[in-house]
Structure 1
Amino acid sequence: MQGLNHELNIVYKYLRKQRISHEDAQDLVQETAYKYLLYQDSIQPQKVRSWLIRVSLNLFYDQFRKNKRVHIGLAEENFMELSKDLPDQIVLDYENKKEITLILDTLRPVYKEALLLKYKWDFSIEDIAALLDMKKGTVKTYLFRAREQFAKAYRRFYYERS
C-alpha cells in the first residue's frame, strides 16, 4: 500500500502540473485509486505508474466532457518553493514559467504531453509509449516535432516581444 500511495502522489503532482485544480486532482486520484484496486490483478507491475496516469487523465477528460465543471488554473502556489533565491530571481522564475506555459499551450496537445512527460517527469521513451499507447518510434517522432515546434514558438514569442 505504501508503494501505491507513492505512485498516487506522483499522479496527483502530474495532474497539478497539467493545471488541474487541487480539488479536481484529489477527486481524480481517489477515483484512480479505486479503479486500480478493482483491476490491480491485470496490471503489469512495471506499468503501474503509466496505467495510473492514463486512467486519471481519461477520467479527467470524461469529467470535462460530461459536465464542464473542471477548473483549470495556473498551478502557481508552489513557485515560491521552487526558488529560495533573491526576490528578483523569484519574480524571474515565475515570469519564465508563465512564458513557457504560454508557449507549450500553442503546441498540439499530444506534443505538449510528450514534452512534459519526457522533460518534466523524466519518463523514458518506453514509458511514454506505454502511457500514450504508441510505438516507441512514434514517440520519438512526436518528441522531435514537439521540440522543433517549441523552439520555433519560443523564437517567435521573443521576437514579438523585442
Structure 2
Amino acid sequence: MRSSLDEVYRQYIGELQRYLYFLCRNHHTAEDLVQETFYRAYLYLESYSDEKVKAWLFRVAHNVFIDRLRKEGRVDLYEAEYFERAADKETPETLWFGHELSLKVKRILEALPLAQRQAWLLYEVHGFTYAEGAGILDISLASYKIALFRARHKLREKLQEGGSCSHDRGF
C-alpha cells in the first residue's frame, strides 16, 4: 500500500502544487498545503473507496486549503514568477500556462471570486468533469456549473475588452 501512495505522490504532486498555488498565490504555503494533503491522504487511505484517486486527492487538497483559510484568514500573498520556475516544466499545464495564459488572463482569474476560480481551474486546467469538480468543492452540480459559467463569462468578457481570445476546453 505504501508503494502505491509513493506512486500517487510522484504522479500528482505537480498538479496539486499548481492547483494549491493558484488558490493561495504563495509558493511556500502551497508546498505546506501539498504536504498536508498527502499526510491526510496517508492517514485516511483506509477510508478511500474506489473513487478516482486524482479526484479524491484534489478533494483532500480542497479541504486542506479551506481549513487553512478558516485557521489563518484570507491568504493574499503573491508570487507571480511561480509559473516560470515550476518544477515540472514538461507537463501540459505548465506549457499551457507558459505559452497561452497571458498576464492579463492571470489577473482576470485572480480577480474572480474563489468559488468561480476553483471551478474554472478544476475543469479547464485539471480536466475534471462537472460531477468530479462539484464533488471536490463539496457543492451541488448546479452550483458548480453556475460558478464555471460565471467564471467563463467574466474571462470572455474581459478578454474581449482587450481583443484577445482563448483556446481552452470551455470557450
TM-score computed with the length of structure 1 as normaliser? 0.71
From 131, 150, 154, the equivalent of 2:155 is 150
Confirm or deny: 8 A CA contact 1:32 1:55 kept in the other structure. Answer: yes
Partner of 2:105: 100
Distance 2:115 2:74 in 1: 23
Partner of 1:18: 23
Partner of 2:7: 3
Moved more, 132-141 or 97-106: 132-141
From 131, 139, 143, the equivalent of 1:138 is 143
Specify every segment of 5 or more residues in structure 2 that has no aligned partner in the other structure, as ranges: 90-97, 164-171
Deviation at 1:13, TM superposition (A): 2.6
Task: Name the CA shift for 1:17/1:113 in 2 (closer, same or farther; >3 Å).
Answer: same
Confirm or deny: 8 A CA contact 2:123 2:130 kept in the other structure. Answer: yes
Deviation at 1:146, TM superposition (A): 2.1
Q: Residue by residue, what CA displacement relative to the aligned partner does 1:68-102 show, whole Å, maximum 9, x if unpaired? A: 696732342443787xxxxxxxxx959x5211011
SS state at 2:19 partner: helix
Confirm or deny: 8 A CA contact 2:15 2:126 kept in the other structure. Answer: no
Query: Percent of aligned pairs with the same residue?
Result: 30
SS state at 1:139 partner: helix
Confirm or deny: 8 A CA contact 1:117 1:128 kept in the other structure. Answer: yes
Confirm or deny: 8 A CA contact 1:115 1:143 kept in the other structure. Answer: yes
From 115, 118, 128, the equivalent of 2:123 is 118
**Quick one: which amino acid aligns to residue 40 of structure 1?**
L
SS state at 1:73 partner: coil
Distance 1:64 1:133 in 2: 16
Q: Residue by residue, what CA displacement relative to the aligned partner does 1:23-64 show, whole Å, maximum 9, x if unpaired? A: 222221222212111111112232432332233333334334
Aligned-residue CA RMSD in angstroms?
3.1
Distance 2:40 2:32 in 1: 12
Confirm or deny: 8 A CA contact 1:8 1:29 kept in the other structure. Answer: yes
Distance 1:80 1:7 in 2: 18
TM-score computed with the length of structure 2 as normaliser? 0.68
Partner of 1:62: 67
